[in-house]
Chains A and B, each alone.
Chain A
Amino acid sequence: MTSVILSTATRYMLPLLLLFSVFLLLRGHSEPGGGFVGGLVAAASFAFYAFAYNVKQARRALRINPRVFIGVGLLIAVSSATYSLFLGKSFMTGIWTETEFPVFGAIGTPFIFDVGVYLVVLGVILTIVFSLAEGEQ
């Protein structure tokens, strides 16, 4: 499958889509968006890349094995949920910073949890897409 239009478009779309996915993740708590949809968009961008070029190059563009994202994402999600235990509160209590950061606003454990969701979704979809696509090559 070689299409000049697709491959050229994808080259420019990949960074834009990734940026968009992070944007969705960051605004998710107050505006439409969130870790799940952000992860889907990010996964889609790499899936397109795999289509336009091939899986090998998509993997190279990703740099890290997608399976690693699953583990890291789950670890981040669980850690964010466990943090409250150390403060003597029950599991998964949301803990927020007092100060407001530029761009992010207040940062809380639910946001970090959402980052975990983002990574898991990205990892899961790319693991499946890449394994399926590798069967063809």
Chain B
Amino acid sequence: MVLEAVLSGFVLALFAPWIYKVGRGAAGWILALLPIGIFIYFATFVPPVAEGETFVFAQTWVPSIDISLSFNVDGLSLLFAMIISGVGALVIIYAGGYLAHDRDINRFYVYILMFMASMLGVVLSDNVITIFIFWELTSITSFMLIGYYHEKPESRTAALQALLVTGAGGLALMAGLVMMALVGGSWEISELLNRGDVITGSSLYVPILILVLAGAFTKSAQFPFHFWLPNAMAAPTPVSTYLHSATMVKAGIYLMARFSPALGGTQTWTVVVTSFGAVTMLLAAHMAWQKKDLKQILAYSTVSALGILTMLLGVGTHAALEAALVFLVVHSMYKGGLFMVAGAVDHEAGTRDIALLSGLRKAMPITGAAAVLAGLSMSGIPPFFGFVGKELIYESTTEFDMSAILLTVFAFLTNGLTITAALLVAHKPFFGSKLSAPKHPHEAPLTMWLGPVTLGTLGLLFGLLAGWVGEFLIAPAVSAVQHHQTEVHLALWHGFSMILLLSLVTIAFGVLVYWKHEVLGRWFAPSNVISKWGPEQWYFWSLDGMLGFGRWQTRLLQSGYLRNYLLIIIFSTVGLGLYTLSKYNVFSQNTIFRPIDVTSYEFMFMALIVASAFVVTQVRSRLAAVAALGVVGYGVAIIFVLDGAPDLAMTQFSIETLSVILLVLVLYRLPRFIQFSRSRPKKITEITAALAGGGFMALLVLLVTALPAQSRLAPYFAENSYKLAHGHNVVNVILVDFRGFDTMGEITVLGIAAVGVFGLLKLRLDKTRQTDTPPDVLTTQHQSADVFPVMEREQS
């Protein structure tokens, strides 16, 4: 049943364009029924899972290599699945309004549904290979979605960047997962989690950890891989809401949480994960408040939130895990809501630049209210759920046994700057006495405020019902991460404590920075020079380096002259062949210098072949050379006839005929006959190549025919051709039955080659028609060395 829930997204994606054709404006509402259904389905799991049950659904897929479609519903995967389907429904409805006038909206629905299904697959999979496949599917669908506005170069660059960064991490992850499975002795994740001791004790533990974390850090945009996420804001806002705040970027967090029973608990884990998370959260929070674009502020504050989550998973105590899961829910709600608000503002007011916006609450009261709800939760103001989250974060950092003070300072600064970012997004555009916006703003349609209002209200409700949420959603998830049953008691009010004081100071600090953000921004502006030399620049350098290397080696290897390729092929074949033969003692009197019976007519045809081959090299006309070459081929075919291979002969005759036809056709396209090898050294090289190639083949034939046939295949085929395959013609039976699979591959290749030839010729025809110049084969071959995907980029 879980399998169907996961795959249903892919199935619906297939039909989405038709549903859009029929439903038009209502298509978003119709398509959202699926995620709503999935959400309700998973909601039914909440009570039993809260009592400590887990559900496993397994379906064999590739049993020979232990890959199964097994899914595991426990507290952690359930929490993620509900976020994915719940936010998914709201985003699809939202997109129906946001992209209403976009001509590619049906394509958007296809991608987003496929993404949702892949993401559900990631969080529910219980098999190492299956989770990896779904993981990669999220990268690919994310590539499609970021590049949705494919006519804009910055969208394409951002899409490629996200794909390359997360894709590279994905490869590392695969290596890490496979190693972990081999060390742990199982491909099922639930089994691996029971063998944490074996994995952490193994000598491969550190490599496994590095590789798995590389996957998680790239996906969840941890420093120094964080730069792709702000760039991914080139995507339409519904995508940013869904992928880049609520779900996909949390896949890395999910991965770390899921595998922490197997990989966590060691000092290496704590130090590495905590410090990466801590650096990311502070750095990104510092970047966030200096941005002017609503989506950029939100993007950096998302990176910061992901840093907080990573840091908490690194600390790994019960309090930290509690904090991580609460904050995960909090963040998905407020950040999803704020992204939708930013999109609505952009849509209705015409800009996302906060400097140009103020007083929008008068024109957009509902959107403004939603922004305030989300902003308050983001700032951690009681009684919002965000307050619970922030208290828990402080609780876990102050108890961190390695360096509580340093980590708490990091957390304090991050939380304070997060409040500044919240004010910039939720306060700055909506408040202020005078209404200002580039175009006349009005309230967003229902589709576009439904999402943020729902999420904002939930942020408040969850805060008020903190105890209930803790018992039913957070406790099972914490139990899953800790890998044993545990209890969570959340409460809004913890009494007067140091932590409450810290929360109050944090709010004051955040408000202070917001109040003075323009002055402070000018102070800190010079520090942004660093980003010019930062990780994103390394990415572009390595990309340029790779392309440069590609160009260099292509120029080195691809001269564009057929005769060079032929020389290389012939000499390396002869050299490698002779080297191999010399290792076996096969050159002897019996093999090479032995009498061979040649009949007079065989000799006649041989002389004919040799003579016409010589003619080929001497004539000055291409047509004559082709004809002479045809004679060589027919001569060989006659030898086949004489030696009792009618099938081969027949094929050879047809092939020769067709080759002559094709060559004649091709000749028209070639430039006039040019003799390249005029100089003596060149001639000598070519004669050597010809003699070496011919001599080597003759030697090979002599050797092969002299050695005793040891094949068991030939007698087998001869014996069973009629018995098993109803055919007397062994050659044909081999082709269509015994080795039919090969033939299938060959005809497929043939077909593709024909389509390729067709494409190349038609493309060239069109070009010549435009420029009206005769095609010149030699020069076009040179140009082909420069045909590379042109990577556009934009650095801001």
Could you tell me which A residues sit within 8 Å of B by CB distance? Answer: 24, 28-37, 40-41, 43-44, 47, 51, 67, 70-71, 73-74, 77-78, 81, 92, 94, 96, 106, 108, 110-111, 113-114, 116-117, 120-121, 123-125, 127-129, 131-136
A29–B765 CA distance with the chains assembled, in angstroms:
42
Q: How far is the CB of B727 from chain A (nearest CB, A)?
A: 4
- B757: nearest residue on chain A (CB-CB)? A128
A113–B745 CA distance with the chains assembled, in angstroms:
12
Given contacts A32-B729, A96-B726, contact A44 B654 (CB under 8 A): yes
Contact A70 B741 (CB under 8 A): no
Residues of A within 8 A of B733 (CB): 29, 110
Restricting to B211-238, which residues have a CB under 8 Å from any CB of A?
Answer: none
Contact B754 A123 (CB under 8 A): yes
A133–B665 CA distance with the chains assembled, in angstroms:
6
Residues of A within 8 A of B669 (CB): 132, 135
Listed from nearest, the 9 A-B pairs whose CB atoms lie closest are A40-B654, A29-B727, A124-B754, A132-B665, A30-B728, A32-B646, A34-B732, A120-B747, A110-B736
Residues of B within 8 A of A78 (CB): 744
Residues of A within 8 A of B751 (CB): 70-71, 73-74, 120, 123-124
Residues of B within 8 A of A28 (CB): 729, 732
Contact B755 A70 (CB under 8 A): yes
Contact A31 B729 (CB under 8 A): yes
- A51: nearest residue on chain B (CB-CB)? B661
A70–B758 CA distance with the chains assembled, in angstroms:
12
Residues of A within 8 A of B731 (CB): 32, 34
Contact B666 A81 (CB under 8 A): no
Q: How far is the CB of B231 from chain A (nearest CB, A)?
A: 41
- A117: nearest residue on chain B (CB-CB)? B747
Residues of A within 8 A of B662 (CB): 128-129, 132
Contact B658 A77 (CB under 8 A): no
Contact B729 A114 (CB under 8 A): no
Contact B737 A110 (CB under 8 A): yes
A-B contacts, 11 listed (Cβ < 8 Å) = A29-B726, A31-B729, A33-B732, A44-B654, A110-B740, A117-B735, A120-B750, A127-B757, A128-B758, A132-B761, A135-B669
A106–B726 CA distance with the chains assembled, in angstroms:
8
Given contacts A33-B729, A77-B744, A131-B758, contact A124 B737 (CB under 8 A): no
Contact A129 B661 (CB under 8 A): yes
Which of B662, B731, B736, B753 has the most A CB atoms < 10 Å from its CB?
B736
Chain A contact residues, majority secondary structure: helix
A58–B573 CA distance with the chains assembled, in angstroms:
42
Say if the beta carbon of B651 comes within 8 Å of chain A. yes
A106–B765 CA distance with the chains assembled, in angstroms:
48
Given contacts A67-B758, A132-B761, contact A34 B665 (CB under 8 A): no
Contact indicator per residue, chain B 763-780, by CB within 8 Å of chain A (1) or not (0): 011000000000000000
Restricting to B711-741, which residues have a CB under 8 Å from any CB of A?
Answer: 724-729, 731-733, 735-737, 740-741
Given contacts A67-B755, A73-B747, A81-B740, contact A40 B655 (CB under 8 A): yes
Residues of B within 8 A of A127 (CB): 754-755, 757-758
Contact indicator per residue, chain B 649-681, by CB within 8 Å of chain A (1) or not (0): 011001101100110011011000000000000
Contact B757 A121 (CB under 8 A): no
Residues of A within 8 A of B761 (CB): 131-132, 134-135
Contact indicator per residue, chain B 628-665, by CB within 8 Å of chain A (1) or not (0): 00000000000000000011001100110110011001
Given contacts A113-B736, A114-B732, A132-B662, contact A32 B650 (CB under 8 A): yes
Residues of B within 8 A of A51 (CB): 661
- B764: nearest residue on chain A (CB-CB)? A135
Say if the beta carbon of B743 comes within 8 Å of chain A. yes
Given contacts A113-B740, A129-B665, contact A67 B754 (CB under 8 A): yes
Residues of A within 8 A of B661 (CB): 44, 47, 51, 129
Residues of A within 8 A of B267 (CB): none
Contact B735 A34 (CB under 8 A): yes
Residues of A within 8 A of B725 (CB): 94, 110
Residues of B within 8 A of A113 (CB): 736, 740, 743-744
A25–B751 CA distance with the chains assembled, in angstroms:
19
Q: How far is the CB of A113 from chain B (nearest CB, A)?
A: 5
A-B contact count (CB 8 A): 143
A51–B515 CA distance with the chains assembled, in angstroms:
84
Which of B724, B725, B729 has the most A CB atoms < 10 Å from its CB?
B729
> 13 additional contacts, CB 8 Å, given A31-B729, A36-B651, A111-B736?
A28-B732, A29-B736, A34-B731, A40-B658, A74-B748, A74-B751, A78-B744, A94-B737, A123-B751, A128-B662, A131-B757, A132-B669, A135-B761
Say if the beta carbon of B762 comes within 8 Å of chain A. yes
Given contacts A36-B735, A92-B741, A131-B762, contact A30 B727 (CB under 8 A): yes
- B655: nearest residue on chain A (CB-CB)? A40
- B647: nearest residue on chain A (CB-CB)? A32
A110–B739 CA distance with the chains assembled, in angstroms:
11
A132–B668 CA distance with the chains assembled, in angstroms:
9
Contact B729 A124 (CB under 8 A): no
A32–B743 CA distance with the chains assembled, in angstroms:
18
Residues of B within 8 A of A110 (CB): 725-727, 733, 736-737, 740
Residues of A within 8 A of B754 (CB): 67, 70, 123-125, 127-128
Contact indicator per residue, chain B 385-403, by CB within 8 Å of chain A (1) or not (0): 0000000000000000000
Q: How far is the CB of A130 from chain B (nearest CB, A)?
A: 9
Contact A37 B646 (CB under 8 A): no
Residues of B within 8 A of A70 (CB): 750-751, 754-755
A70–B744 CA distance with the chains assembled, in angstroms:
12
Residues of B within 8 A of A31 (CB): 728-729
Q: How far is the CB of A48 from chain B (nearest CB, A)?
A: 8
Residues of B within 8 A of A125 (CB): 658, 754
A70–B753 CA distance with the chains assembled, in angstroms:
11
Residues of A within 8 A of B726 (CB): 29, 94, 96, 106, 108, 110
A44–B741 CA distance with the chains assembled, in angstroms:
26
Which of A37, A41, A125 has the most B CB atoms < 10 Å from its CB?
A37
Residues of A within 8 A of B757 (CB): 127-128, 131
Contact B747 A41 (CB under 8 A): no
From A30, A35, A47, B736 is in contact (CB under 8 Å) with A35
A20–B761 CA distance with the chains assembled, in angstroms:
31
Residues of B within 8 A of A71 (CB): 751
Q: How far is the CB of A47 from chain B (nearest CB, A)?
A: 5
From A37, A73, A129, A136, B654 is in contact (CB under 8 Å) with A37
- A131: nearest residue on chain B (CB-CB)? B761
Given contacts A29-B733, A114-B736, contact A37 B658 (CB under 8 A): no
- B654: nearest residue on chain A (CB-CB)? A40
Residues of B within 8 A of A30 (CB): 727-729
A92–B742 CA distance with the chains assembled, in angstroms:
11
Q: How far is the CB of A36 from chain B (nearest CB, A)?
A: 7
- A24: nearest residue on chain B (CB-CB)? B650
A132–B761 CA distance with the chains assembled, in angstroms:
7
Contact A74 B747 (CB under 8 A): yes
Q: How far is the CB of B700 from chain A (nearest CB, A)?
A: 25
A61–B162 CA distance with the chains assembled, in angstroms:
53
Contact B747 A116 (CB under 8 A): yes
Residues of A within 8 A of B666 (CB): 132
Residues of B within 8 A of A120 (CB): 747, 750-751
A111–B744 CA distance with the chains assembled, in angstroms:
13
Which of A78, A81, A106, A124 has the most B CB atoms < 10 Å from its CB?
A124
Residues of B within 8 A of A131 (CB): 757-758, 761-762
Which of A43, A70, A136 has the most B CB atoms < 10 Å from its CB?
A70
Restricting to B141-200, which residues have a CB under 8 Å from any CB of A?
Answer: none
Restricting to B14-31, which residues have a CB under 8 Å from any CB of A?
Answer: none
Q: How far is the CB of B328 from chain A (nearest CB, A)?
A: 45
Q: How far is the CB of B61 from chain A (nearest CB, A)?
A: 17
Residues of B within 8 A of A43 (CB): 658
Which of A33, A67, A131 has the most B CB atoms < 10 Å from its CB?
A131
A127–B747 CA distance with the chains assembled, in angstroms:
14
A128–B658 CA distance with the chains assembled, in angstroms:
11
